[in-house]
Homo-oligomer: A and B are copies of this chain.
Amino acid sequence: MHPFASRPADSVSALGEERLIAAIRRWLGSASPRAPFGIGDDCAVLPAQRGRQLITVDPVIHGRHFDSGVPPRAVGAKLLKRNLSDLAAMGGRPTAAVLALTLDARVSRRWLEQFYRGLAACARQYGVPIVGGDVAQANGVLAASLTLLGVPAGQRIVTRTGARRGDALYVTGQLGRSRPSAHHYRFTPRLAEGAWLARQPAVRAMMDVSDGLAKDLRALVPAGAVAALDPAALPRRAGASLAAACGDGEDYELVFALAAQADPAAFARAWRRAFPRTRLTCIGRLVAPGRRPPGSLDPARYRGYEHLRRGRTA
């Protein structure tokens, strides 16, 4: 469905602001609590939480993260799932979200309804109340930015920092060709896996793979180490080249470092008991610079998704 209406009568401007906001509340339905705990006041009130919280923000932008080939319900779900993937990577579970929508007055009402209904269905599935939002107008734009709040699912928050030389590198699922395979909006955020991994003390550092493994890995590799990947081990999606598996973005998988001391066989067994249907692959190891085994792959040779390249289109 094309996000822009061909007839003015089908656009959000025909609805006007007040009716649009009333419609959004209807479309969100039970995914949005009543004010002051939801939309309708200057701020939303969040119930008390014990302990530390987590916060992340990610958008979906027309022409960048979706086009008219992606069903609008899937765009709404993708917006939330992208953020859930970030939360998963720290071992978190979601508590609340707010949404800032920026749209051209010509955006189709039907498209927007499906977008919000898809977001609401996904929010109900993951138990995330959409507590607030903003709608603003801008020419030629259709973009939505979601801020997600969460709490640690267990005792521990796992960060990108903490991996050491000798640690093994693992990745969930498969990599590459996320766009052509529609994985970029059909994926399931690895919340359960992230929470489980955060409970394993041997998991030293973790992040989600969103800009391509090669680029994202850099953040996980500590000073005095390099990543040596086994090219044959990389779990590639059907049809994905090695370059695609290393460089394509939007995998929304977890990559983590397992302590060198851990027993990989016992870890793999525990994983299979917990997640019999989620593939887990040891893709390599952190080694001393210059100690990369022959035949191993240097991820620095591959480029990930580079934001802000002039003239780039999605």
Contact = CB atoms under 8 A, between A and B. Distances in A.
Interface of A: 8, 11-13, 15-17, 20, 35-36, 40-59, 61-64, 86-87, 89-90, 92, 96, 98-100, 102, 105-106, 131-141, 143, 145, 147, 149-150, 157, 159-161, 207-208, 306-313
A25 B99 CA distance: 24
B11 A63 contact: no
B132 A57 contact: yes
Given A52-B48, A138-B63, A140-B140, A57 B159 contact: no
Contact of A61 (B11, B48, B102, B106): B102
A98 B147 contact: yes
A17 B133 CA distance: 28
B105 A57 contact: no
B160 A42 contact: yes
A41 B100 CA distance: 22
Given A52-B47, A55-B131, A145-B134, A139 B63 contact: yes
B50 A54 contact: no
B64 A44 contact: no
A161 B45 CA distance: 14
Nearest to A16: B308
Contacts of A145: 100, 102, 134, 145
Contacts of A132: 55-57
Contact of A307 (B54, B135, B160, B207): B135
B48 A87 contact: no
